Amino acid sequence: NAGVTQTPKFQVLKTGQSMTLQCAQDMNHNSMYWYRQDPGMGLRLIYYSASEGTTDKGEVPNGYNVSRLNKREFSLRLESAAPSQTSVYFCASSEVPSGEAEQYFGPGTRLTVT
């Protein structure tokens, strides 16, 4: 039981390049989330998927897109990376939407945009 897994662990991009961060969970959870963490800050929600087939914007969605590929997988895409997107990205999942269930986090992806 791996929990929440994320790939890659580290990535360096040049401004304007695109990439997709992958997330998968093996806990049969319905809800999945993408957060970013900037230095000295708590995590902020980018997008979430309350259930398979649905996605919604969180607090800081600009510059990102998401895809809920199936119940297990939730990807985050940066179409044209900017230095302001340098951050650590965390994926999380919960059995049902956050207010009713505990969230579990992946190990994070450290992204640097130069």
Footprint on this chain of other proteins (rule: CB under 8 A)? 31, 33, 40-45, 48, 50, 56, 58-59, 88, 90, 97-100, 102-105, 107-108, 110
The most distant pair of C-alpha atoms in the chain lies apart, rounded to whole Å, by 40
Report the residue number, 53 or 99, with the smaller CB distance to other proteins: 99
- Tell me the closest approach of the beta carbon of residue 102 to other proteins, in angstroms: 4
- Tell me the closest approach of the beta carbon of residue 52 to other proteins, in angstroms: 15
| H helix runs in the chain, sequence order | none
- Tell me the closest approach of the beta carbon of residue 22 to other proteins, in angstroms: 18
Nearest one of 104, 74, 114, 107 to 88, comparing CA atoms: 107
Report the residue number, 19 or 50, with the smaller CB distance to other proteins: 50
Report the residue number, 40 or 53, with the smaller CB distance to other proteins: 40
Element (H, E) at 10: strand 10-13
Report the residue number, 81 or 106, with the smaller CB distance to other proteins: 106
Which parts of 16-61 are beta strand (E)?
19-25, 31-37, 43-49, 56-57
**83: left (phi > 0), else alpha (psi -120 to 50), else beta?**
alpha
